[in-house]
Structure 1
Amino acid sequence: MKARKLRIHAPAIAYFDKVRRCGSFREAARSLNVASSAVNRQILKLEEELGAPLFERLPSGLRLTPAGEVFTRHVIAVMQDTERVSSELDALQGLRSGHVEIATVEGVTVDLLPAVIERMRALYPNVSVGVSSLGSTAIAAQISSGNADLGLAFALQRDNDLHQLVRGHFHLGAIMLPDHPLAQHRRLSFATCAAHPLILAKEELSIAHLLRPAMNHSPQWGRAVVETSSVELAKKLALRGVGIAFQTRIGIEDELRRGQLVHVPLVHNQPVLSDLGLYTRSQRSLPVAVDAFARMLVDEIARREQQEQEQEQAQSNGHTLIL
C-alpha cells in the first residue's frame, strides 16, 4: 500500500526545496511536472516576501545565497516534519508504510545492514529503504541537507547539526591471511605491521585518521603497496596475500567465520578503537518507519559490540569463541 503524500505547506516550500536539490529551475520544473515559469514565480514571490535573494544566478547554475542557506534549514525542518506527520497518520490506519533513506559507510553494507534490512522487511514489508554508500566524512552533509534520514559512520567528528542515537566501540585491527608471520599475535603495533607490505586507507576514510598518530610515531615505515578508499577492495587484497589491511571486524564477518582472514587488534599505547555511530539531524522527530529502522540498528550495533567484547574475553582466557 502506498504512503500518503501530504501537501500541508505552501507550494513555494516544495518548489524551493526541489530547486536547491536540482540546482536548476528547468530540472526542478521537470521533476515537479510543472512549467519553469511557475517555479520561477514561486521563488520570486518567496524572495520578495523574505526581502532577500535566495539563489545566485550564475552561468554554471544556481548557488544558494546566505539568505538561501538560512531558509534551507527551515525548509528541511518543514519537509521532514510533514513526512513524520504523514507516517504517523499511516501508522494510525495500520498501513505501516513509509521510506527510510540512509547514508552509510561501505563496511556495514556487507553483513550488519543487510541483517537489519531483512528484519525490517519481515516486520514492515511496505517500508522501502534507500542506501547510499559514502565515506564517513561525507555522511554528515547528507543528514544536514535532508538527503538522508539516518547516517551510519565510523569515527564521525562532533557536529551540532547531528544527533547521535548510538555509538558502538570496535577494535581497529590488522587483517591478514592465517599463515601470515604476524597472524598468531594477540596484539600488534603499527610499527610491527610496517615491516611488511601494507594496504592503507585514503584520507576520506576514518581509518586513515585513526592510524595517523601511530604512523607519525613510526618514521621508519615506507610507502604502502596500495592506498584505497574502498574497504571492500582492501579486504579482497588482504585475502590475496597482497599485504596487511586495517579494518574493524565489521565487514569481514564471513571471512573470519570461515577462517580465511585473521583480525589482530592494533595498539598504540592503548587499543585503537573505531566508534560506529548512528546519526540523525538534531531536533528532528523521526517518522514512524525511520524510528523503527533506527531502533533495529541501535539493537544490532549494541549486539555486535557485546559479541566482540565476549570474543576478546574468551581469547584472553585462552579459549576460542565460535561465532
Structure 2
Amino acid sequence: MATRLRVHSPAVLYFDAVRRAGSIREAARRLHVASSAVNRQILKLEDEIGAPLFERLPGGLKLTAAGEVFARHAIVVLQDAERARSELDALKGLRTGHVEVATVEGVTTDLLPTVISRLREDFPNITIGIATLGSQAIPDTVASGAADLGLAFALPRTAELRQLTLARFRLGAVVPPDHPLARRREVSVATCMAYPLVLAKQDLSVHHLMRPAMERAGADTRGVVRSGSVELSKELARRGIGVAFQTRIGLEADLNRGSLVHLPLNDAGPVYSDLGIYARAGRALPVAVDAFARLLGEEMARREAAEAAQLPVPS
C-alpha cells in the first residue's frame, strides 16, 4: 500500500535552502539557524521519502534523482506560498512583497531603473532583487525558482517558461557621431565589415542573432574585441575602437546626448531582437510580481511604439 507523504513547510524551506546553497552549513547561515536543525529536517525528509535527496560529495551536496523530483515540488510549494501571502497582504491594503528578477545587462541602464522608479511610486512596500546574467542562463534561473521573472532578448521557446510580454526592437550598428557610417539611415553587415568590429560572445543573444548575417557576409567572426558585456561594447564603440551591435535599449542616454548613433541593420530586411518577460510555466503570479510585470510590459510597449514611429528615445 502506498504511503501518504506529509511534508511540513519548515522541511521544504530548509531543503530548498540547502539546494540553493549546496551545503548544509551555508544554508543554515542564510536561514540564521543551527546546522544541526537543517540537517535534522533533511534527514527527516529522506526518511519520509525513503530515498536520499542529496549526494554527499567532497565539493558539496548535489541533488540525487529523488532530490530533483522533490526540488520541483518544493519550488511550486514555496512560490505558491509567496503568492498566497502576497494576495492576503493585498486584501489588507498592504501591497507588500518581493520580486526577484533575472535580467540581461542592457536593460539595466535605463529601462529597469524607469520601471523600478514607477513601482516605488505606486507600491513603496514592494522590494526588488536584480541578478544580471547572460541570456542563455536566464531560462534555468526562472524555471528553478531562483527568480520570479526573466527579462531577456531572443530566448528560445521552452515548455518550462511562460512568455508574459514581448516587444520587438531593431538590431543596429553602434558608432560615434564622427564615424564614417554615422550619417547613414541603415547599414548592412557587409558595409560594417570595412571597419573594425566589436562582437558579442556566445552567452549574449546578439551573438546568435548576428551569426547568420555575419556568415552570409563572410565576416571575420573574431572581431577586434569579443565581449560578454554590452556596457563594455558600448564604451568601445563610443571611443571609436570598433562598430558594436545592439538594440536601442541600453543606449538611451547616449542617443539623447548624441554621443552614439544607432544605425538599424538591413540584411535582406530588418534584423529584430525580441525582448520578453518570462515566468515559470503554470505559476500563478503573486500580486507584487504581477504588478512589476505589468509596469515593465507597459514600458516595453511604449518604447517599441516610439521606435516604430521613429520618435526620440523616451526618457
| TM > 0.5 fold call | yes
Deviations 1:196-254 (A, max 9, x none): 01111111100000010011112254741111111011111111111110010000011
2:258 is aligned to: 259
Q: 1:227, 1:267 → 2: CA distance? A: 22
Cα pair distance change 1:168/1:257, threshold 3 Å: same
Cα pair distance change 1:221/1:27, threshold 3 Å: closer
2:88 is aligned to: 89
Q: 2:299, 2:120 → 1: CA distance? A: 15
Contact 1:195 1:221 in 2 (8 A): no
Q: 1:144, 1:160 → 2: CA distance? A: 10
Map residues 120-139 of structure 1 onto 2, 5 A cutoff: 120-139=119-138
Map residues 205-224 of structure 1 onto 2, 5 A cutoff: 205-219=204-218, 221=220, 223-224=222-223
Let me know the Cα RMSD of the aligned residues.
Answer: 1.4
Q: 1:10, 1:256 → 2: CA distance? A: 51
Q: 1:27, 1:271 → 2: CA distance? A: 49
TM-aligned CA deviation for residue 47 of structure 1: 1.5
TM-aligned CA deviation for residue 33 of structure 1: 3.0
1:176 is aligned to: 175
Contact 2:199 2:222 in 1 (8 A): no
Deviations 1:244-280 (A, max 9, x none): 1001000001111122211111122221100000001
Structure 2 unmatched ranges of 5 or more: 1-6
2:46 matches 1:47: yes
Contact 1:191 1:221 in 2 (8 A): no
Q: 1:91, 1:45 → 2: CA distance? A: 35
Give the % identical residues: 64
2:295 is aligned to: 296
For 1:251, the aligned partner's letter is G
For 1:44, the aligned partner's letter is L
Contact 1:102 1:132 in 2 (8 A): yes
SS at match of 1:159: coil
Q: 2:246, 2:289 → 1: CA distance? A: 28
2:3 is aligned to: none
Using structure 1 for the length normalisation, give the TM-score: 0.92
Structure 1 unmatched ranges of 5 or more: 1-7, 312-320
For 2:39, the aligned partner's letter is N
Deviations 1:163-191 (A, max 9, x none): 10011110000010122111222221111
Q: 2:120, 2:166 → 1: CA distance? A: 24
Deviations 1:69-123 (A, max 9, x none): 1110110000001001111111111111111111111111111111100000011
Contact 2:177 2:261 in 1 (8 A): yes
2:201 is aligned to: 202
TM-aligned CA deviation for residue 44 of structure 1: 1.8
Q: 2:213, 2:146 → 1: CA distance? A: 35
For 1:290, the aligned partner's letter is V
Q: 1:95, 1:9 → 2: CA distance? A: 27
Cα pair distance change 1:29/1:182, threshold 3 Å: same
Map residues 217-232 of structure 1 onto 2, 5 A cutoff: 217-219=216-218, 221=220, 223-232=222-231
Q: 1:39, 1:222 → 2: CA distance? A: 50
